Amino acid sequence: MSCCDEGCCGEGVDFTKTPIAELYGSNSFSNAMMRERLPKSIYKEIVAVQNGEKELTLEVAEVVAVAMRDWAIEKGASHYTHWFHPLTGLTAEKHDAFISPTGDGKVLMEFSGKELIKGEPDASSFPSGGLRATFEARGYTAWDVTSPAFLKQDKTGTTLCIPTAFISYYGQALDKKVPLLKSIDALSKQAVRVLRALGHEGSKRVFTTVGPEQEYFLVDKEFYDQRPDLILTGRTVFGALPAKGQEMEDHYFGAIKERVADFMRELNYELWKVGIPAKTQHNEVAPNQFEIAPIYANSSAAVDANQMVMETLRSVARRHGMEALLHEKPFAGVNGSGKHNNWSMATDDGINLLEPGANPESNARFLLFAAAVVEAVDRYALLIRSSTATSANEFRLGANEAPPAIISVFFGSPLTEILDNIAEGKAGGKTESDARIKIGVSSLPALPKDVSDRNRTSPFAFTGNKFEFRMVGSSQSIATPNTYLNVAVAQVLSEYAEKLEKSSKGDASSNKNDAIQNIIKESYKAHKKVIFNGNGYSDEWVHEAERRGLPNVKSAPDALSVLTRSETVSLFEAHQVLTKEELESRYHIYLEKYSKQINIEAGTIIDLARRYIFPAATSYAGALAGDAAALASIGANNASQAKRAKRIADLSTELYDETAKLETVLAEAQGIEDPFAQAKAYNEKVKADMDAVRSKVDALEKLVAKASWPFPGYEELLFKL
């Protein structure tokens, strides 16, 4: 039975019988809803605020608040919350009722513009990385007008959720939304400068757009509840592979099982209700692994939507007797899960700046912006790599399922050839040295609709009219990767704009044409080393990347260290996205989170090994030895029983010793005060000893009878739904 069958989707309505066109966005206070409910003048003011043309006034907020309150109450809402993204990587909310006592024992349902614009959650327990003392509890949330408010509905009721940014009392960013919004503004400012220099006057603002593809696993809740490691860490710290894994490749794009299809149906309805355009769903490569992908949206709304997708995946799965696993590597030996971040740039008048187009003029614009992205990825590869640096993602990056830790760009042969020709001063397929290509005139060939294939081994692949950043982990917020990418591209565009603006002081036509060509030529020549169109999974590419001088930073602590470098600080401060103090705070928060996650996993391993695995194995070995003795007493052959009992006993002894070693190393790591040194110790020492314990446990699982093993195995977790 689904949630909707029980009527918990809101007011007892079975949304599966509601036409999708009527259902879609019904729980979202979107622009369409605001246009319907707000006076025209107020709606125009809000759109101007969204476009960065005006600042929000309290008078406008008052009108919006009344309309939003009335809409929410009509839908059954009793509470509202400022919904924000603290540096935990999750979302946070504090619920307040709409009620306001009248003094005569009754209440009014009120919600003011001030309450819409600003909230004050207790900030004392959220990570701040030293920006504020623990006793300084005041923090503020501010309405993000670029992302629509929505209703969250479940069996407990209906709550109005208002997407917000979260700052400290002194104005420092305590969340992932503030720097994202600032980075969008920074990129817009520089991209518009470039467009103006190119002679394009129509665009007033440039938005970054994102469409994240979300991978996840589903497991039966009965088996999940019997695995303390899944409950505590999100992954299996032990688990022997069954005879079959994913080698038959029969799960990928296979027919979706009825139980899973029913879950996906309700998932889509829940997402569509809040205006999340869930479009694609399919079986992924690993057993019980799946993917959902929405249509792209502006970055701020897309970040909020992806957080809602992850939350909704979990809640809907539980209603269907399953658990959704978002960990990057919940099962050893099969593919992990990523989140493909499809990123592009679009103007407010409808131009995708990464669309190749069908004529030389638009090609010139496309090639200029594409070259800027390539340069940004090369120059700021370490920064972009750091945006995906988590303990969970370390299990995945570099495996035969995900990009290596080397940042490279895939363009495909046709587009690479065009850029190579520009860099070498050639036209089309000609080789004459005097046949220089002229950007923006007829000698530049029109680009085909699909200028590249798709390369699933590339961490940063051009896929037609966007770049697909494939390194992002499945459990991550996409806010940080997009923030870093926006800032990197903004810096390169600012340098392009300066060159173009200087060129326009003379003969605008010829100087601009030459300037465009020279920018693309010089940039591509200097940064083409990051272009790689081959197999990113191959060992040959690792050696080739080293020869090219491309960084290969495998550990998260090493990747995160770029945040405190002077060039990183200068970059973020130049574009007013993050200050030195804010960057340092994030560096310490992410290092601390890395160490804490591994500490929890190591503690879980020790606990399970001692309290579950060791007793089960020794008990089973004792039973086997007793059976062997009983056989010997009647003269039967007992050799195989005795050998098996001894092998299990020996492995149990080795497990005991390896667990003791892990406990010692873990205690040493816990005692290190320097955050970076501690994270390195967890990475280089604790994880190695965790693997040593696991190898003993997984070997024991293959020898101990299934009925005597304390946990469901991979066979149940991966193949039974």
pLDDT at position 441 is 43
Write out pLDDT tens, residues 593-625. 999 999 999 999 999 999 999 999 999 999 888
pLDDT at position 686 is 98
Separation of alpha carbons 721 and 719, rounded Å: 7
At 331, list the tokens. 């099962």
Torsions phi, psi for 85 (to 5 deg):
-120, 80
pLDDT at position 413 is 81
Do strands 206-220 and 289-294 pair parallel, antiparallel, or not at all (unpaired)? antiparallel
For the stretch 563-589, what's the b/e string if a residue is b when 16 or more beta carbons lie within 10 angstroms of its beta carbon?
Answer: beeeebbebbeebebbbeebbbbbbbb
* Other CB atoms within 10 Å distance of the CB of residue 619: 14
- Burial zone of 650 (CB within 10 Å; 0-12 exposed, 13-18 middle, 19+ buried): exposed
Closest CA to 144 of 161, 116, 164: 164
Q: Determine the length of the chain.
A: 721
Give every residue of the chain whose pLDDT is below 50, as ranges.
Answer: 1-13, 428-438, 440-443
Closest CA to 145 of 75, 229, 273, 43: 43
pLDDT at position 218 is 98
At 159, list the tokens. 């709550």
Separation of alpha carbons 367 and 313, rounded Å: 39
* Other CB atoms within 10 Å distance of the CB of residue 171: 9
Show the domains of the chain with their CATH numbers: 24-175 (3.10.20.70), 186-578 (3.30.590.10), 592-719 (1.20.120.1560)
pLDDT at position 435 is 38
Separation of alpha carbons 154 and 165, rounded Å: 25
Instruction: Answer for the pair 155, 148: CB distance below 8 angstroms, yes or no.
Output: no
Separation of alpha carbons 513 and 413, rounded Å: 25
Report the 3 state secondary structure along 391-444: HHHHCCCCCCCCCCCECCEECCHHHHHHHHHHHHCCCCCCCCCCCCCCCCCCCC
Separation of alpha carbons 563 and 596, rounded Å: 20
Torsions phi, psi for 720 (to 5 deg):
-120, 110
pLDDT at position 625 is 83
Separation of alpha carbons 656 and 651, rounded Å: 9
pLDDT at position 421 is 83
pLDDT at position 341 is 95
The H or E element containing residue 488 is helix 479-503
pLDDT at position 627 is 74
Give how far Cα 561 sits from Cα of 517, 584, 587, Å: 36, 10, 7
pLDDT at position 141 is 87
pLDDT at position 436 is 42
Partner residues linked to 100 by β-bridges: 108
Instruction: Answer for the pair 327, 229: CB distance below 8 angstroms, yes or no.
Output: no
Write out pLDDT tens, residues 481-507. 999 999 999 999 999 999 999 887 755
Partner residues linked to 346 by β-bridges: 207, 352
Separation of alpha carbons 207 and 346, rounded Å: 5
* Cα Rg, the chain, nearest whole Å: 28
Closest CA to 357 of 420, 461, 437, 440: 440
Q: Where are the alpha helices (DSSP H) in 671-713?
A: 675-681, 687-703
Instruction: Answer for the pair 359, 446: CB distance below 8 angstroms, yes or no.
Output: yes
At 284, list the tokens. 């992924």
Write out pLDDT tens, residues 48-96. 999 888 999 999 999 999 999 999 999 999 999 999 898 888 898 888 8
Look up residue 194 and give its DSSP letter: H
